[in-house]
Structure 1
């Protein structure tokens, strides 16, 4: 698997996991109007204590190199 495929696979995994969690699952208020299935990107970034842009780039498969700390924060935020 080359770098591009690896980044794409990570992005797919993050999107699927994000959509499988509800705000209630992670202790966030549900709110009244949700157009997104599962958590919003901003919510995941907030839970992981990383920038929203950084999280979006990871989901998009951009050429960014997340540290072990970022991956651990994402794993905790996504209840892995």
Structure 2
């Protein structure tokens, strides 16, 4: 179903509040994903370099993947058509 955009529609104060809430949420999630991306580079090359067993790295990656999946599911849970 296609939506028609009305350019002359005025924005109500409720819409402004919602827009501000969404901007804050977007900034929060952008920061969280920036931290996750940095961890994906920092942890394996610093903290896991001296781990003699491979399962230490696998444990990190499983926890990392779980964290990313939880973040993505939290973001998309309220999406609608």
How high is the TM-score relative to the length of structure 1?
0.36
If asked which structure has higher relative contact order (CA below 8 Å, sep 6+), I would say 1
Bigger-Rg structure (1/2): 2
